[in-house]
Each structure stands twice: as C-alpha cells, then as structure tokens.
Amino acid sequence: MLLPHRDSAALTDPLEMLELPVGQQWDGKIAYLDRDGVINVGSENYVNSPAEVELLPKAAESIGRLRRAGYRIVIVTNQSPISRGHWDADNLDDIHSELRSRLLTEDSDAHLDLILFSPYAPWEGAWARKPNSGMLEAGRQLIEAASSNADFSSLRLQFDADWVERPDESTSFMVGDRGVDMAAAESFGVRGIRCDPDIGIAGVVDSILGGAA
C-alpha cells in the first residue's frame, strides 16, 4: 500500500502539538483541508515554487477562526508533480514553509498542525491519493497520538479495512474544491464541504462556525 507522506518529517516521527488559542481544550475536532483552491490560489500547472504561493483572501483569518473554535488543522493535498518528476519533496517543503509563514503573518493563530501529502501520480493507485482516504486516516491517528503524548516509536498506523475501531468524526469536516476531495471525505466518513476555488475556505467558514468570531 502506498502511504501518505508528511511535510518535513517521516510519517510517524514525533509530532509536537501547539496549544490551541484562547485556552481552548481540544475535544477531537479536526478541520481536514485541501490546499490549492482552499487556502491558496491553485493552478492547472501546479504551484511550483515558494514564489508562486498566493493566499486566497481571508484564508489565514479563516484558519485562525477555526483554531480559536477548537479545531486542529490537517492539510491533505495531492502532489503528483513529485512522482511525475517535475520537482522533489524538498521543493514541496519550501513551498509549505512559505505557506505557513504567510498564514502566520496575516493571523498569528493560523497554525497548520499537520501537513500530509500524496506524491503519487493518479495511475499508481495509491491509497494515500484522494479520492481515497489514506491521508485523512493518517491525519486523525497522528493528531490523536500527539494529543495523548503517545510513544511514536511504537506507533503503527492503520488504513482502509485494517482500521476497525475508528473514532467519531461527527464534529469534524473536510473542505475541498474538487470532487476527489468530497469522495475522500465520504470514504472516510466525515462531512465534506465543497468551496469555490476562487474564494476558498473563507467562503464556507461562516457556515461551519455559525458566524462565530
């Protein structure tokens, strides 16, 4: 099985959890977010360098609002340019470093708790690639492990039919701009919310939070 990859780390390396803002205690809520067309402007030719990172309007504020409401933020993004040979994972790390920096510049609470990516091309049939739910499955288990101070050296992630006893996802959601995002959400059993790629997360955050600040 072709598994997800993690930004700047091996998949099961220890993950440090920052405290949630305004004294929020995490109660299991996760916002699973696609990247391009949700947080930043996407392109049919891919986002190929840090210089090409352009945040969508109010994306940082929206992520900050989610974290202030008690959500952990997990990015789940297909990145086939790696498998296609256009560039490597080090370049993707640089892109994500720029993304994180720009988000935090606009809203100091807009921290991304975890970035997972699928480097595989569509024809490889990877469980990690949306519309499959491998990245969401890994995201939940890694966030749970980090939040409970689990021993990552013995952490063994479970996927697909092998993961039988799954936690409740009724308070979590997945935001994406494409059908593959909604299919991954359905496969995982979490509410899928489709956004306009020209507006992104800012266009749906009020409906998620009910207008809360």
Query: Choosing from 36, 109, 177, 181, which is the catalytic residue?
Result: 36
| 15-21 own/partner pairs: CB under 8 Å, 24+ apart | 15/114, 15/142, 15/143, 15/145, 15/146, 15/152, 16/146, 17/72, 17/113, 17/143, 17/146, 17/147, 18/111, 18/113, 20/67, 20/68, 20/70, 20/72, 21/64, 21/67, 21/68, 21/109
Query: Choosing from 7, 13, 27, 34, which is the catalytic residue?
Result: 34
Is 34 marked active-site?
yes
Is 90 marked active-site?
no
The residues assigned a catalytic role are: 34, 36
